Amino acid sequence: MQTANYLPTAFLSTEDVLEIVRRMGLPAVLQGLADTIEADFRRWPEFAKSPRLASHSPLGVVELMPISDASRYAFKYVNGHPGNTALGLPTVMAFGLLADVSTGMPELLCELTLTTALRTAVTSALAARMLARPGARRMALIGNGAQSEFQALAFAHLLGVRELRLFDTDPAASAKLQRNLAGSGLRTVLCENTRAAVAGADIITTVTADKSRAQILTADMLRPGVHVNAVGGDCPGKTELAPDVLRGSSVFVEYEPQTRVEGALQQMPADFAVTEIWQVLSGRMPGRTSTEQITVFDSVGFALEDYAALRFMQDAARRLGLLQLLPLIPALADPKDLFGLLRPACALQQAFAGPPHPPAAAMRTGPWGQPVPESAAGFAT
Amino acid sequence: MQTANYLPTAFLSTEDVLEIVRRMGLPAVLQGLADTIEADFRRWPEFAKSPRLASHSPLGVVELMPISDASRYAFKYVNGHPGNTALGLPTVMAFGLLADVSTGMPELLCELTLTTALRTAVTSALAARMLARPGARRMALIGNGAQSEFQALAFAHLLGVRELRLFDTDPAASAKLQRNLAGSGLRTVLCENTRAAVAGADIITTVTADKSRAQILTADMLRPGVHVNAVGGDCPGKTELAPDVLRGSSVFVEYEPQTRVEGALQQMPADFAVTEIWQVLSGRMPGRTSTEQITVFDSVGFALEDYAALRFMQDAARRLGLLQLLPLIPALADPKDLFGLLRPACALQQAFAGPPHPPAAAMRTGPWGQPVPESAAGFAT
C-alpha cells in the first residue's frame, strides 16, 4: 500500500554509474570529471567551505564532508576502515547528496564508492598537469590497492603517462593491478622496493592505506624535477612522506585548514608555506616554476571534488535517462500540515482510553509528587 | 542490466514509517520512541557528541547532525526554510543514516521528515515528565503549525494532558490543528493571544517557526509552577523567549554547547546556569524541586534523539518485515579490487589511442613548457 507521495529526489546506484561509464566510455568520463572539477576549483571563492567532520574509532573513521555555493549544497558520507578487506568489505564506502540551497530539498542521492575513486584520481591528474614537468611519461605507483588503477588511468588519459613502476608490500596487490591494466597499453614494471620504483620516475604517486605515520618516501629518494602525488595520507596520524620531503619541495594542497590536520603537512610547523591548488588552476599563482623544482601535491580529498563529481553524474544520468526516483521526502497536500500525513494512519479516538503510560525507567515519587528515577541520589526527597 | 551486487543497506520511506504507525498504533509508537530516547539519554556519557554543522543561507539552513557510540554512528540531514510552504514544500525535510562503527557500513537510510516531528514531541514530553508539576492537564500551545499536533498527542499520551489552549498569528493554522485533533478526546480552546492562551496553563509549549528574535513569552505572563516547553527557537538569531523568562526559571537543555548557540540561551551570558536533561533523566540531578518553581526546557533538537529514533524505526521495521534494500554500497568480489567493478564496463584497449586530452581551461605554455591558464598574471613567463 503506497499512500504517501514524494518530492522528486533522484537516486543513482553504483550500477547507474557503471552504466554511465559503459555509455560514455571511460576516457570521456575522466575528461568530463576533470572539466567539472577544474571549473569548480577555478570558482573556489564562491564556495562556503569547512574541514570535514571526522568521527574516529579504534578501527577507522567516518566522515561528513559538506560544501555549498549560492545554489547548491552537497555532502559526502565516507568511511575509512583498513581492516575491512579482511571481512570482505571495501576499505572506503561512500555516498553523497546534492540539495537546493534555496529550499533545502534533496535533489540527488548518489553512490560515491566508485565515484570517489574516480574523482580522487582525476584531481591528482589535474594537479599534476600544473606541477609535473611537461612530457612526464613514467610514473612510480607506490601502493597498488583499490585506488591504484584509477590513478594509473587518469594519469594515462589526462597527462600522457605511459609507464608505471609498481611497488606494494603485498605482491598480490601489484599482480591484481597488472591484471586489471592488461591490454590498456600501459607498460608496467614490477619493482623490488620503493627506492627502485621511484628511480627514473617523472611522477611518484603514493597511495598506501595503512593508518600509521609511515615514511614511504624520504628526501634522498627524490631526484630534481620530480612531482610527488601523495594521496594515501588523509587523516590525523596517517602520513606517507618524511618531513624532509616536504622541506625540500614546493607543496600544494586542496584546502589548507583541512590538510594542516590530515595531510603529510600535519608533521610540519603551522607556518610551513603551501599553495592551494585552486590558485594554480585559476592562474593566480604559478605551479612548477623550474625544471629542477620538486613539487608535492599533498592530497587528502576535499568536498569540492565531490560536489563537482555529483554534478557531473547528475548531468550525465539526466542526459542518458538513468535517474530513478527515491521516496525520501514526502509531498504534503498542505505543506503546513505535516500531521495530515499521519492522521489517516492512526485512530485518534482510541488515543488515550487509559491512563498515561508510566516512564520506562524505574521511578519513585518525589516530595512534590513528581517522578524521580530510582537511581536518583544526592537531592532531597 | 544489473551487474553490480550490493551490501545490505536497508531503506525506510515515509510510507514505511506510516505503516509502522498503522500496525503498532500511534500510542505504542510514541511510547516506544519515548522508551528508546530515554534509554539513550540515560547512557549519555557513552556517546561522542558535537554541535551540529549548520550551513546558513539567506532563505534557510541545512544541517548535518552526527553522533556515535561504540557500536553505531548516526547522522541526520535536515533543513529549515520558513518560506518553503509558499512553494508547496515542507519547512523541514530530513533523512538519516545508521552505520556500523566497526566497519563504517551504512545499515539503514531512513526518512526523518515525519520521524523528526515524532521524536521532537516525544523528547518534549520526556522532559516535561520530569519538569512539569504532577497532574498537569492543561497545556497552552503557541504556534499551531506543522509540529503542533505531534506535541499535543505526545503530551496527551505520555503525560496525561487533556486540554489545549491554542494561539497562532495565523487563524488557519489553529483551525487545521482543531480539525486534525477532532475525535481525539483532547479539548481545544481557541485563544485571542498568547497571554490569554497561557493563562491557567500548567504547561506552555511554544513552537513557532519565524526565523527571528521574537519574544513570544515574557516573564509577566508566567505564573509560579508553570513549565515552559520552548521548541521553536532552534538556530542562531531565532528565539521565542524573552531573556527575563530564563532569568526567572530553572533552565534545562539537551546538549549545552549546541543550545548556547541555538537556543533561547543564546541571549544569555556564557555563565548562565543550565542543567542538561540527561542528568535529570538518569537521576544525577533533580528536575523540578518545588511547586512554585518555573521550569524551562530550551529544546533545539539533538542528534541523540535521531539516533534513538533511527534505532526504534529499524527495530520496528525489522519486526514487521518492512525493511527494503537500497543499492547504495557495492559488494566487491575482491574487496581490495574496486577497479574490478569498473573493468567490465570499459574497453581499456581503446583507452588512449590518441594524445592526452588538453586542459579544459584556456591555457598557454609557460617558460618550462608547462601549461599556464590564459588568465594567469603576476608571475614570470
Q: Tell me the percentage of chain A whose pLDDT exceeds 70.
A: 90
Q: Which residue has the higher pLDDT, A375 or B214?
A: B214
Residue to test with chain A: of B20, B49, B181, B328, most A Cβ within 10 A: B328
Q: Which residue of A has its CA nearest to B290?
A: A368
Q: How far apart are CA B374 and CA B368, in angstroms?
A: 16
pLDDT of residue A377: 46
Helix axes A26-42, A14-24, angle to 10 degrees: 110
- State the pTM of this model: 0.92
In the sheet that A163-167 helps form, which strands lie side by side, from edge to edge?
A187-190, A163-167, A138-142, A203-206, A227-230, A295-298, A250-253, A275-276
8 A C-beta contact, residue A123 and residue A33: no
**Sign (positive or negative) of CA dihedral A350, A353, A355, A358:** negative
Which residues in A lie closer than 8 A to residue B366 (C-beta atoms)?
Answer: 286
Cross-chain Cβ contact B156/A336 below 8 Å? no
8 A C-beta contact, residue B50 and residue B74: no
Residue to test with chain B: of A20, A357, A363, A379, most B Cβ within 10 A: A357
Confidence grade of residue B370 (pLDDT, cut at 50, 70, 90):
low
Which residues in A lie closer than 8 A to residue B7 (C-beta atoms)?
Answer: 89, 93
Enter the C-alpha cell of residue A117: 575513486
H/E segment holding residue A33: helix A26-42
Q: How far apart are CA B57 and CA A78, in angstroms?
A: 25
Q: How far apart are CA B79 and CA B95, in angstroms?
A: 10
8 A C-beta contact, residue B66 and residue B75: yes
Helix axes A148-159, A26-42, angle to 10 degrees: 80
Q: How far apart are CA B209 and CA A377, in angstroms?
A: 39
Confidence grade of residue B219 (pLDDT, cut at 50, 70, 90):
very high
Question: Does residue B372 have a pLDDT over 90?
Answer: no
Q: Which residue has the higher pLDDT, B286 or B370?
A: B286
In the sheet that A53-57 helps form, which strands lie side by side, from edge to edge?
A53-57, A60-68, A72-80, A94-100, A106-111, A9-12, A324-326
CA A115 to mean position of chain CA atoms: 9
pLDDT of residue B2: 43
Average pLDDT taken over every residue of chain A: 91
Question: Does residue A207 have a pLDDT over 90?
Answer: yes
Q: Which residue of B has its CA nearest to A29?
A: B346
SS3 of A110, please?
strand
Q: What is residue A129's DSSP assignment?
A: H
Q: How far apart are CA A16 and CA B279, in angstroms?
A: 48
Averaged pLDDT, A236-250? 91
Q: What is residue A361's DSSP assignment?
A: S
8 A C-beta contact, residue A141 and residue A128: no
Query: Which residue do the cell numbers 516506544 mark?
Result: B32
8 A C-beta contact, residue B96 and residue B17: no
Cross-chain Cβ contact B176/A336 below 8 Å? yes
pLDDT of residue A252: 98
8 A C-beta contact, residue B372 and residue A288: no
Residue to test with chain B: of A339, A349, A350, A375, most B Cβ within 10 A: A339
Q: What is residue A265's DSSP assignment?
A: G
Q: How far apart are CA A374 and CA A368, in angstroms?
A: 16
Q: Tell me the percentage of chain B whose pLDDT exceeds 90.
A: 81
CB atoms within 10 A of CB B134: 16
Tens of pLDDT, residue by residue over B131-182, are 999 999 999 999 999 999 999 999 999 999 999 999 999 999 999 999 999 9
Confidence grade of residue A366 (pLDDT, cut at 50, 70, 90):
low
pLDDT of residue B359: 57
Residue A95: strand pairing partners: A77, A111
**Sign (positive or negative) of CA dihedral B346, B352, B354, B356:** positive
Tens of pLDDT, residue by residue over B296-321, are 999 999 999 999 999 999 999 999 99
Q: Find the length of chain B.
A: 381
Which residues in B lie closer than 8 A to residue A38 (C-beta atoms)?
Answer: 359-361
pLDDT of residue A42: 97
Q: Closest to B93 (Cβ–Cβ): which among A105, A150, A373? A: A105
Enter the C-alpha cell of residue A175: 599482480
Catalytic one among A168, A234, A298, A306?
A234
Which residues in A lie closer than 8 A to residue B356 (C-beta atoms)?
Answer: 156-160
8 A C-beta contact, residue A302 and residue A1: no
Confidence grade of residue B350 (pLDDT, cut at 50, 70, 90):
low
Average pLDDT taken over every residue of chain B: 91
pLDDT of residue B366: 65
Query: Which residue do the cell numbers 603537512 mark?
Result: A265
- Could you write out the three-class secondary structure of B113-173? HHHHHHHHHHHHHHHHHHHCCCCCCEEEEECCCCCHHHHHHHHHHHHCCCEEEEECCCHHH
Cross-chain Cβ contact A334/B91 below 8 Å? no
H/E segment holding residue A15: helix A14-24
Half-sphere exposure of A201 (CA within 13 A, CB side): 29
Question: Does residue A373 have a pLDDT over 60?
Answer: yes
Helix axes A14-24, A303-320, angle to 10 degrees: 70
Q: Which residue has the higher pLDDT, A348 or A121?
A: A121
Averaged pLDDT, A39-64? 95
Q: Closest to A14 (Cβ–Cβ): which among B1, B130, B330? A: B330
Which of A320, A21, A112, A118 minimizes the C-alpha distance to B344? A21
Cross-chain Cβ contact B343/A180 below 8 Å? yes
Q: How far apart are CA A46 and CA A330, in angstroms?
A: 31
Which residues in B lie closer than 8 A to residue A326 (C-beta atoms)?
Answer: 326
pLDDT of residue A351: 53
Helix axes B171-181, B148-159, angle to 10 degrees: 40
Tens of pLDDT, residue by residue over B5-30, are 999 999 999 999 999 999 999 999 99
Confidence grade of residue B360 (pLDDT, cut at 50, 70, 90):
low
Averaged pLDDT, A358-377? 61
Enter the C-alpha cell of residue A302: 576535499
pLDDT of residue B379: 39
Write the CA distances from A213 to A18, A314, B366, integer angstroms.
35, 38, 37
Averaged pLDDT, A228-257? 91
